[in-house]
Each structure stands twice: as structure tokens, then as C-alpha cells.
Amino acid sequence: MAMNTKTYNPVQSITMTAASDIPAFRFVNYSGGLCSNNTLAAGVSEVSWVQGSKMQVVTLGTIAIECAGVIAVGEDVASANDGKARVALPGEKVNGRALEGAGIGGFAKVKLVP
């Protein structure tokens, strides 16, 4: 299991109810579940949450996110399955921009975009 060693700066967060178990550093959808492929995110989980709990989701600022694929600095980031990040393809929903790159299973620092 990879560990996050990135520094980040959350500016704003919201409280939601976890619709399922939510691992740390994953995109969370507006229903409180993990984002699936090409889903617009409400934000990113900063710690792990258990289904039914009130969770904090970072919605503005920079945050680390677990990667489903290789991401390079400056690339737009979209959600993959299980809330992980991947490079956004043209026309897809962009949830952030990579400030640092990472490989599969690693953690990239991203700036969240509204």
C-alpha cells in the first residue's frame, strides 16, 4: 500500500455523509460516494471514512490524490474508477490540475478546480 508523503494546502472543506466506505485521498462525488470514471467531484477525502459517518471533503486548495495512471506536472486531472485520479482526456470533466506528477498507485499534488 502506497503512502502519501506530499504536502498540500486545503483552503475550504464541506461536511457530507459518506455513502460508502471512503479511502483517504480519493475524489468524492456529490452524493458522498467515490467518483467513478469521468465524474465531477465535490472534493477529495483527506482521511478514510466509514459508510454513514459525517465526513470532511476538501473542495478548494491543493490536496494529494491517489493516481490510477501516470500523471505529469501541469496535466488536467479527471476521476478514474474508485475515486483515483488520471489524466483528463479532451472534453472530459476536469477536477484539478497536477502541481506534481506521480505514477500508478502514487500520489500527485493537485490544485482543485471548481
Q: What domains lie within the chain, and their CATH numbers?
A: 10-112 (2.40.300)
Cell of 17: 455523509
70: three-class secondary structure by DSSP: coil
Closest CA to 83 of 50, 31, 45, 54: 45
Report d(CA 9, CA 86) in Å as an integer. 21
Asked if residues 41 and 65 have their Cβ atoms less than 8 Å apart, the reply is no
Q: State the 10-residue block means of pLDDT for the chain, 114 residues long.
A: 74 96 97 97 97 97 96 98 97 97 95 92
Asked if residues 107 and 89 have their Cβ atoms less than 8 Å apart, the reply is no
Note the pTM of the prediction, 2 decimals.
0.93
